[in-house]
């Protein structure tokens, strides 16, 4: 019995010695050091993270001015660069729509359609009536007699009647035309009535160098992810 106890005691001493001899794990870096490493990594990527492909970045604006009017379709950032470089924002929405939703500061309104609320005797309700503006081209030629005028065309959502407007203006001889993708509604979701950029908390959109033929790739953090209550919804007629 004494021999068994002695053997166990010897085994325990050997095991304890092995544990003491085992190398210790490297200590974790202090919290301050870990934060310092992260800060340096952010600083190294700062130039890459800076949104270069949006207004008012000078290089972006220069590329936009070189691309238009040949490119034709302009996103909101490109449209703002054109606007700030002397292009006229031509608002072709009806006066009815402007009264409801507002307008871009400094824009010129020439309605392509005339919209009114009229009483429908069948439904006994007021309904929207939309008719073409027969004087559209006549008004355009009065306000813009120079057919070389640089015009940024915007309807409500970029689909309502911008294409029809562009065709009519092209046939009338206007040569420097751009079409705002998403129309006034897209513009208003990025810039307010004082032309200041809207801020949507953590959902700010970041534009990077590695773009497509239009020169734009976004982070995907923008309006598609904004809560429905936060995104501005304007009527379309």
Residue 189 has pLDDT above 50, yes or no: yes
Kindly state whether residues 191 and 203 are assigned to the same domain. no
Q: Which of 79, 87, 93, 133 is nearest to 106 (CA)?
A: 87
| Inside any domain, residue 95 | yes
* Predicted local confidence at residue 127, as pLDDT: 74
Give residue 187's domain range.
Answer: 54-196
Whether residue 216 has pLDDT greater than 70? no
Q: Classify residue 133: in a domain, yes or no.
A: yes
Q: Domain count of the chain?
A: 2
User: Could you report the per-residue pLDDT of 99-131, keeping only the tens digit for each?
Assistant: 988 999 999 999 999 988 777 777 777 777 889
Among 53, 89, 86, smallest CA distance to 214 is for 53
pLDDT tens per residue, range 69-93? 999 999 999 999 999 999 999 999 9
Same domain, 132 and 214: no
220 and 117, same structural domain? no
Instruction: Give pLDDT tens digits for 25-64.
Output: 444 444 333 333 232 332 344 444 445 789 999 999 999 9
Whether residues 73 and 150 fall in one domain: yes
pLDDT of residue 123: 77
Residues 222 and 170 grouped into a single domain = no
CATH of the domain at 70: 3.40.250.10
For residue 214, list its beta bridge partners.
none
Please check whether residue 46 lies inside any domain of the structure.
Answer: no
User: pLDDT for 124-151, tens place per residue?
Assistant: 777 778 899 999 999 999 999 999 999 9
Q: Are residues 192 and 208 in the same domain?
A: no
Domain identity same for 58 and 135: yes
Domain match, 143 and 100 both: yes
Span 153-177, mean pLDDT? 92
Query: 85 and 177: one domain?
Result: yes
What does 99-111 look like in DSSP terms, one character per residue?
HHH---TT-EE--
- Pair (154, 110) in one structural domain: yes
The answer to whether position 213 is within a domain reads: yes
146 and 225 share one domain:
no
Asked if the structure places residue 14 within a domain, the reply is: no
Asked whether residue 126 falls in the same domain as residue 192, the answer is: yes
More confident residue, 216 or 67: 67
């Amino acid at each position: 019995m004494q021999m068994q106890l002695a053997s166990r005691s010897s085994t325990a001493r050997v095991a304890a010695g092995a544990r003491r001899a085992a190398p210790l794990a490297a200590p974790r870096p202090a919290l301050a050091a870990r934060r310092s490493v992260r800060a340096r990594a952010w600083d190294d990527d700062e130039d890459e993270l800076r949104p270069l492909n949006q207004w008012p970045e000078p290089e972006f604006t220069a590329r936009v001015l070189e691309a238009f009017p040949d490119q034709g379709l302009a996103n909101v950032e490109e449209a703002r660069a054109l606007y700030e470089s002397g292009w006229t924002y031509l608002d072709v929405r009806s006066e009815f729509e402007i009264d409801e939703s507002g307008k871009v500061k400094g824009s010129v309104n020439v309605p392509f359609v005339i919209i009114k609320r009229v009483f429908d005797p069948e439904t006994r309700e007021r309904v929207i009536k939309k008719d073409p503006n027969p004087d559209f081209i006549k008004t355009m030629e009065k306000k813009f007699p120079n057919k070389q005028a640089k015009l940024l065309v915007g309807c409500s959502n970029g689909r309502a009647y911008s294409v029809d407007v562009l065709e009519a203006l092209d046939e009338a001889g206007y040569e420097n035309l751009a079409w705002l993708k998403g129309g006034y509604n897209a513009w208003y979701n990025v810039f307010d009535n004082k032309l200041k950029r809207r801020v949507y908390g953590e959902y700010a959109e970041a534009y990077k160098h590695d773009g497509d033929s239009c020169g734009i790739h976004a982070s995907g953090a923008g309006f598609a992810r904004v809560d429905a209550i936060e995104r501005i919804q304007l009527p379309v007629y």
